[in-house]
Amino acid sequence: MTTTTAAGTERSTSATGTAAPTGTPADRTAAPADKTAAPAGTPADKTGARTDEAAELITGARERIDALDDRIIGLIQERMAVSAVIQQARITSGGRRVNLSREMEVLGRYRRELGKPGTALALTLLELCRGRI
């Protein structure tokens, strides 16, 4: 049911006479459309870029990062396997599973090459390769 307000505008009302919101629920909650944003489903929409040219650059760079991540993961898995061989040899010979002085060398190297975040990365690598101590 529609009623006219004192100001002369129309307003929907429910069967009980109370005001009912007009439009669909999405219409009532959606923010105003951004006129500069790329249409949904375009490369720019997927990358957050404002232009197709930037979106293409970002897409290509992301593909390269994905390829690098695949290589990094493979190298970490290889490092884990080599570490397991070292640990087994050390244990078999009567030594300890972990060599803390060697771990300190690794931590120092990562810190020198990558800064403070390198230390955190090295700790994660060491934990992956030897387990928690």
Q: Which structure tokens are listed for 9?
A: 């505008």
Q: Convert the pLDDT of each residue in 85-118 to its tens digit.
A: 999 999 999 999 899 999 999 999 999 999 999 9
Whole-model pTM over 0.85: no
At 45 the pLDDT is 75
pLDDT given for residue 46 in this prediction: 87
Residue 12 has pLDDT above 70, yes or no: no
Q: How far apart are CA 131 and CA 133, in angstroms?
A: 6
- Is 16 or 74 the better-scoring residue by pLDDT? 74
pLDDT, mean of residues 122-128: 97
Query: Does the pLDDT value for residue 13 go beyond 90?
Result: no
Name the band, by pLDDT with cuts 50, 70 and 90, for residue 121: very high
List, for residues 17-70, the tens digit of each pLDDT value.
545 444 544 444 444 444 455 556 666 678 999 999 999 999 999 999 999 999
